[in-house]
Structure formats: C-alpha cells, structure tokens
C-alpha cells in the first residue's frame, strides 16, 4: 500500500502524538531518493515513508528527534564533500559517504501538539482568559459545573465539571470563591506545566493548607 503522509500526519495530530515531517528538497545523483519525497518520524524513532537508503535514514531520524526536542525545524545536507555553493547559515552539513556516492538535502519540520489551556470557573475573568487563549493559539478549555452561564468563543471546549485533563497543558483557576478547592485539586491533578490561581495571598495560603 502506497504511503500517504497526509493521512498519517492527520492521524497522529488527531491523537496528539508529536512527529516530524522530513522532506527531500534536493538530490545530487546517484541516489535512490526523489525530490519532494516525504517521511514521518515519531518520537520513538520510527519512520514511515521513503526518503533514501539506510545510511541517510539513520541520520535523518537522529535530526528529526533533535527537532522534536527543540521544537525547531532544520535543513540538513548529507554528502561526501562540502557543497560547492559554500556554507549557508541555515543549513547543517553532515559529511556522510553512502555507497551511492550521491548527496541529499532535507527539510525537517516538527509538528507538536497544541498546548491545552485549562481555565477553571465561570467568572467574567474566565471569558477574558478564554479569548486571550484563542489569540495565543492555545487549545482552550473552560471547566465549571455552571459553564453554560458563560458566553464563550465557539472554539473553546466547554466542560460542565472540574475535570482532570491529562494532556500537555497549563492551568488557571479563576473560580474566585465558587468551587475553589475542587477546581484547584483538578488543576493540580492535570499535572500542568504552569499553574496559576487567581486569589488573594490569604485565600491562596488557606487553600494550599487544605
């Protein structure tokens, strides 16, 4: 069955699995790779697709994993000699001698899941934060048993309970007196990269002691 990189990328993105797309952008014969051929590499080092022989694949996978770690794209050139066009600032040259003796250039682009922004509460502050989250390109969630009382942007996911979200996230507790402790516990259990509680110092101290 022919590899369909668009379907594979869509499948991984839907599941929230990070991956990198490696594209052949130039070749110097002899080489088995073709320009614009693509492969998808996941964080476990698995590659789907064909972008050249084994000597190139190992290097591309290593660079793809680096891109997933840094979140930044890269351009690499694999060849037995330096490019005659000279050094290019954005291009990483890797001296590699394959049996074919050809050269390959790749663009490697990481595709990372959107970070979820969890906003707990049903206050006007939640509405303002939800709009800001959309502007900042977060996958925004508003969570509260009374969430139906708020008019939120259509793109915001609304959950009518203080749920625990296990994906990569940041959380803001903006309950402001209505379910503070339950919301804070759910936010902490979501293991966010960043957690903010909108409350006075006195209330914050009291909640953290419970």
Concatenating the DSSP letter of every residue in 112-163 gives: -PPPEEEEE--SHHHHHHHHHHHHTT-EEEEE-TTGGGS---TTSEEESS--
Structure tokens, 208: 């953290």
Looking at 61, 81, 111, which one is the last position of a domain?
A: 111
Give yes or no for a cis peptide into 193 (omega within 30° of 0). no
Quick one: 79 and 131 in the same domain?
A: no
The residues that bridge with 174 in the sheet, in sequence order, are none
More confident residue, 141 or 199: 141
Q: Mean pLDDT of all residues in the chain?
A: 88
CB-CB neighbours of 108 under 10 Å: 24
pLDDT > 70? residue 163: yes
Looking at 111, 127, 160, which one is the last position of a domain?
A: 111
Query: What's residue 40's pLDDT?
Result: 97
Point out the least confidently predicted range of 39-43, 50-54, 187-191. 50-54
pLDDT > 60? residue 84: no
Quick one: 121 and 39 in the same domain?
A: no
Query: What's residue 130's pLDDT?
Result: 94
pTM of the model: 0.68
Q: Once rounded to an integer, what is the mean pLDDT over residues 36-55?
A: 90
Looking at 111, 136, 171, which one is the last position of a domain?
A: 111
Query: What's residue 87's pLDDT?
Result: 61
Ranges assigned E (strand) in 3-99: 19-28, 38-42, 47-49, 74-79, 91-95
Measured CA to CA, the distance from residue 5 to residue 39 in angstroms comes to 7
- Could you list the residue range(s) of the whole structural domain that residue 155 is in? 116-208
Quick one: 63 and 143 in the same domain?
A: no
Measured CA to CA, the distance from residue 68 to residue 168 in angstroms comes to 15
Q: What percent of the chain has pLDDT over 70?
A: 93
pLDDT > 90? residue 38: yes
């Amino acid at each position: 069955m022919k590899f369909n990189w668009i379907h594979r990328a869509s499948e991984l993105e839907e599941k929230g699995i990070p991956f990198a797309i490696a594209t052949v952008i130039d070749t110097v014969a002899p080489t088995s790779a073709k320009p614009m051929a693509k492969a998808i590499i996941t964080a476990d080092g698995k590659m789907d697709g064909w972008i050249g022989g084994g000597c190139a694949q190992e290097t591309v996978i290593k660079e793809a994993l680096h891109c997933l770690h840094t979140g930044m794209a890269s351009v690499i050139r694999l060849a037995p000699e330096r490019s005659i066009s000279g050094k290019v600032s954005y291009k990483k040259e890797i001296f590699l001698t394959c049996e074919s003796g050809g050269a390959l250039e790749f663009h490697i682009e990481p595709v990372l899941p959107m970070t979820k922004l969890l906003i707990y509460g049903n206050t006007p502050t939640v509405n303002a934060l939800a709009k800001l989250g959309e502007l900042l390109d977060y996958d925004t969630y508003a969570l509260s048993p009374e969430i139906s009382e708020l008019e939120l942007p259509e793109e915001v996911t609304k959950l009518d309970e203080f749920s625990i979200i296990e994906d990569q996230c940041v959380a803001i507790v903006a309950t402001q007196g209505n379910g503070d402790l339950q919301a804070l516990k759910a936010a902490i259990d979501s293991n966010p990269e960043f957690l903010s509680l909108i409350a006075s110092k006195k209330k914050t101290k009291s909640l953290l002691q419970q």
